[in-house]
Structure 1
Amino acid sequence: MKRQSGEASVRGKTGGDKKVRVIACGMIAREVLAVNAQLRHDHVDLKCIDANYHHHPERIAPAVERAILRARQEGYRHIFIGYADCGTGGQLDRVCADHGVERIEGPHCFSFYLGNEAFAAEADEMMTTFFITDFLARHFEAFLVKPLGLDRFPELRSTYFGHYERALYLAQTDDPELERKARDAADCLGLPYERRMTGYGDLSAALAEL
């Protein structure tokens, strides 16, 4: 499955007879699969929406709606949305309400990885924090540097990131190689580096209810 290009489906052992369709952001596809493996879920069919839509959040809700309609056509009665609001300004919630489905609670994945309650308790400090997840550590160059043109115009770094005071790596896994990449990303942005081991946070509880 290509997690950054287009929409892709990942089916488990029982293929098309899955009982729950999870429509999720490509940025958390690996994590959804990992949590489902921990839970020993064999009834979940994962549909991934292009991770690059995070650069164009106005595209997220329409893409999710299309995916919901396709899932209904394929016979899925139970659908869960693997997105927080993610910059849609409530548009995703309206789509969920229109189709009678639920999504992961929270404003974005950084919040539900840390835990929505914990994130809210630190809201003031988080305003000047640049977040790195396992996904962004893996794909920093392709997902952030090149789309923003920082490889060609490094002077843009201060324009995009000058108001941030730190880079905080919210680690889903304890992987030394990913931590090295996260440190490199912070250095690239000229930000002090911090790390917290969060695991999958509220994502685990949300998927457990499936």
Structure 2
Amino acid sequence: MNAQAKDEAIPKTLLIACGALARETLEVLRQPGMEALTLTCLPAIWHNRPEKIPEGVRQKIKAARAQGIERVFVLYGDCGTGGELDRVLAEEGVERIEGPHCYAFFAGQEAFEKLAEQEIGTFYLTDYLVRHFDRLMWQGLGLDKHPDLLTLYFGNYRKLIYLAQLDDPALDAKAEEAAQRLGLAYERVATGMGELGEFLAASARPATE
């Protein structure tokens, strides 16, 4: 089999992801064996407007199929859609990564449940949220202009857990600083890519007849 025929035998697969997962997903896609996967993202800010996610995903699916791409996978948890995303995916016949949100599939479903049980009042950050803490959290919630809102937003939290995908001392320091600014105890949990990596590896395998 020549190289062209070999490439044609690999099913092209599209990943539809939240923009907050783009960097980590691309990191995995650089690994050998991921050549059949391509990535498209919806705006990360839609986490503040989860009602936009289901229809946004549907439109991406339809656009992919119009281009002849039949294999589509979704990198979203439920992400506050109240089951609406799963309804859309069932209608379209598309599979998504398991879990309610990215915290769970980075940490692993069982591991995250244990963390949540240990301290209900826990606020979680991922690498993406640490990088963009000021824009998404501090400024996004208006705390830069109204610091008195801090108690309103975070008064019921006791701990901040940084679920770290990469080993980056600069991010560690920024996450710990975020905990201090929020007045929360700090803990770092190294997750790596967690179930995201496993899901991508499964998605890259050729479809069975």
| TM > 0.5 fold call | yes
Q: Does 1:45 align with 2:35?
A: no
Determine the C-alpha separation between the residues in 2 that align with 1:45 and 1:141: 30
Specify the SS of the correspondent of 2:147.
coil
User: For residue 67 of structure 2, what is the aligned residue in structure 1?
Assistant: 74
Question: Would you say the 8 A contact 1:23–1:81 is kept in 2?
Answer: yes
Q: Name the TM-score, length of structure 1 as normaliser.
A: 0.88
Specify the SS of the correspondent of 1:106.
coil
Give 1:122 shift: 3.7
Q: How many residues align?
A: 195
Q: Does 1:169 align with 2:162?
A: yes
Pairwise mapping of residues 38-117 of structure 1 onto structure 2 (< 5 A)?
38-117=31-110
Q: Does 1:156 align with 2:132?
A: no
Specify the SS of the correspondent of 2:175.
helix
Determine the C-alpha separation between the residues in 2 that align with 1:32 and 1:40: 14
Specify the SS of the correspondent of 1:209.
helix
Specify the SS of the correspondent of 1:76.
coil
Determine the C-alpha separation between the residues in 2 that align with 1:158 and 1:18: 51
Distance 1:23 1:126, change over 3 A: farther
User: For residue 132 of structure 2, what is the aligned residue in structure 1?
Assistant: 139
Determine the C-alpha separation between the residues in 2 that align with 1:153 and 1:194: 27
Cα RMSD between the aligned structures?
1.6
Question: Would you say the 8 A contact 1:18–1:45 is kept in 2?
Answer: no
Q: Does 1:209 align with 2:199?
A: no
Q: Name the TM-score, length of structure 2 as normaliser.
A: 0.89
Question: Would you say the 8 A contact 1:168–1:196 is kept in 2?
Answer: yes
Question: Would you say the 8 A contact 2:22–2:41 is kept in 1?
Answer: yes
Distance 1:58 1:127, change over 3 A: farther
Specify the SS of the correspondent of 2:105.
helix
Specify the SS of the correspondent of 1:67.
helix
Determine the C-alpha separation between the residues in 1 that align with 2:11 and 2:142: 41
Give 1:18 shift: 7.3
Distance 1:39 1:150, change over 3 A: farther
Structure 2 unaligned residues grouped into runs of 5+: 1-6, 204-209
User: For residue 193 of structure 2, what is the aligned residue in structure 1?
Assistant: 200
Give 1:146 shift: 1.4
